[in-house]
Amino acid sequence: MTEPLRAIQISDHVFWVGAIDWAVRDFHGYLTQRGSSYNAYVILADKVTLIDTVKHSFEREMVTRIASVVDPQRIDYLISNHAELDHSGCIPQMIHKLRPERVFASTRGVAALADHFHLDEEITAVKDGESLSLGNMAVTFVETPMLHWPESMFTYLGDERVLFSNDAFGMHLASSERFADQVDDAVVECEAAKYFANILMPLSPLVTKLLHRVAKLNLDLDVIATSHGPIWRANWHKVLELYAAWAERKPANKALVVYDTMWQSTAAMAQAVCDGLISGGASAVLMPLKASHRSDVAAELLDAGALLVGSPTLNGGMLPAVADVLTYLKGLKPRNLVGAAFGSYGWGGEAVGQVEAMLKDMQVELVADSVKVKYVPNDQALGGCVALGAAVAEKLKGLGAAG
C-alpha cells in the first residue's frame, strides 16, 4: 500500500502541504543529486491561508495534502512569497479552481506574477513591514529583494513563531523526514552549503544585511519554514550561523585544482600542482572535470582560498568543460581568491592565457606565472607544476587562511 499524501503539522495551526521531487537532478545547471522539495504551507486561521504553491507538475500532490487537513475550497487567502515557478507554478490553477478571496504578493511580486501568468484576477500588493489580519492571527511581510529574486519576501506568523523564508535557508534535498533535526547533520550541512554556494554566493553581501535585519527585528522564532528541503525547528539558529559564515567567505587554507585533459598531460600537471600545494601545507582538492560537476566545484569553492585551473588547448581555446565551469563560477562572484593557470599544448597554446584572463576577470589574484608545457611534461616541467602549487600554498599561508 502506498503512503497517503498527508499534510505534516509544523505548529499548532500550520501544516506543510508541499511536494517532494525525488527525480529532479538539474536546477539551471545545478546538479541536485538528492532531489528537492517544493514546500507550501497552509495556515488554519479564521482566514485559511496558503503560503506559496509548488512546481506546476506537482499540483495533485499539494492539493491532496491540503485536503487531508482542510477542504481546499475553504482557502481564503493565497500569499506568494516568490514568483519563481517552483513556488508559483500552481498559482493560476489555485486562483481558477479555488477562487480564494484575495491573493497577496510584494509590489514587485505582483508585477512578476503578471508577467508570468497574465491573469485577469487582481493580486494585492503588500509592503515591507505590513501586517495582514487572518482573523484570529496575523502575518507580517518582510521584503528580501534579490534573495532570490527582486520580488522575494518572507512572511512571518508571530502568533506561532513561524518564519516562511522561501528560498532562504533551504536546500535541495528530497527526504521523507520534514525537519532538519530528523536528517543526518552531515547531509543537511553539505546540501545547505551546496545550495548557498550555487544560489546565494553572488548575493553574499545581501545575505549579511538580511541577517542583520532579521536580528534587529528580534523575531520570536520556533520554526523557519523554508521552501526547499527540510524545515528548521529546534536547531534553526544553526542555519543562521552557517549563513553568516558562508556570506563572509573567509577563505580556508584550501585550494581547488580544477582541470580537464585530452591525453593526460594536463592531468599529470594538475597532480603535480596538487602535490606542491600539499607539500606547501595547504589542503588540496583535485577536481577533474570529467568526474566533477560544475555545481560541486562551486560547493567546494565556498570555503576555499585558492582556485587553480588547468586546460590544454583545443582549436585555439580552452576545453569546453573548463569554459563551462569558469563561466558558471564567474557568475557566482566568489571573493577573496588567489590562484593560477596551467596546461599543456601542441602548437598555439592559447588556452592558458584565456584561463588566466578569466581568472583575472573573476578578481582572482594570480600568485605566480602560469605554467605551459609542450605536449607531454617531463620531470623538469612537472617540477615547475609542483613549484606553482607550493607558491600558492605559501601565499595562502601569508594571507593567514584558516586551516
- Which of the stretches 78-86, 266-274, 293-301, 303-311 binds ligand FEO when contact is defined by CB under 6 A? 78-86
82 noted as active-site residue: yes
Catalytic residue among 61, 84, 151, 303: 84
- Which of the stretches 16-24, 79-87, 238-246, 385-393 binds ligand FEO when contact is defined by CB under 6 A? 79-87
86 noted as active-site residue: yes
195 noted as active-site residue: yes
Q: Per DSSP, what are the bridge partners of residue 255? A: 284, 306
Q: Interface mask (CB under 6 A) for ligand FEO, residues 120-149, using x and -?
A: ----------------------------xx
Considering only CA atoms, which of 103, 35, 51, 69 is closest in space to residue 226? 51
Angle of helix 350-361 relative to helix 320-331, nearest 10 degrees?
10
By beta-carbon proximity to ligand FEO, the closer residue of 193 and 390 is 193
363: left (phi over 0), alpha (psi -120 to 50) or beta: left
* 372 touches ligand FEO by CB under 6 A: no
By beta-carbon proximity to ligand FEO, the closer residue of 1 and 23 is 23
151 noted as active-site residue: no
d(CA 309, CA 296): 15
| Per-residue cell: 370 | 602560469
Nearest 5°: the CA angle 40, 45, 48 is 55
Say how far residue 151 (Cα) sits from the centre of its chain.
17
By beta-carbon proximity to ligand FEO, the closer residue of 82 and 178 is 82
By beta-carbon proximity to ligand FEO, the closer residue of 90 and 364 is 90
* 227 touches ligand FEO by CB under 6 A: yes
Q: Per DSSP, what are the bridge partners of residue 318? A: 313
148 noted as active-site residue: yes
Residue 104 contacts residue 78 (beta carbons within 8 Å)? yes
d(CA 171, CA 194): 8
Out of 55, 82, 293, 294, point to the residue binding ligand FEO (CB under 6 A).
82
Looking at residues 144 to 163 of the shown chain, list those that interact with ligand FEO (rule: CB under 6 A): 148-149
Residue 171 Cβ vs ligand FEO, minimum distance, rounded to whole Å: 11
Considering only CA atoms, which of 380, 355, 358, 382 is closest in space to residue 370? 355
Radius of gyration of the chain (CA): 24
Residue 160 contacts residue 13 (beta carbons within 8 Å)? yes
Out of 21, 52, 86, 260, point to the residue binding ligand FEO (CB under 6 A).
86
d(CA 325, CA 167): 24
Residue 392 contacts residue 338 (beta carbons within 8 Å)? yes
Out of 34, 55, 178, 228, point to the residue binding ligand FEO (CB under 6 A).
228
By beta-carbon proximity to ligand FEO, the closer residue of 166 and 370 is 166
- Which of the stretches 14-22, 84-92, 97-105, 249-257 binds ligand FEO when contact is defined by CB under 6 A? 84-92
28 noted as active-site residue: yes
Residue 388 Cβ vs ligand FEO, minimum distance, rounded to whole Å: 39
By beta-carbon proximity to ligand FEO, the closer residue of 227 and 271 is 227
Please tell me whether the peptide bond between 148 and the residue prior to it is cis, using omega within 30 degrees of 0: yes
The binding site for ligand FEO (CB under 6 A) comprises 82, 84, 86-87, 148-149, 167, 227-228
Q: Which residues are catalytic?
A: 28, 82, 84, 86, 148, 167, 195, 228
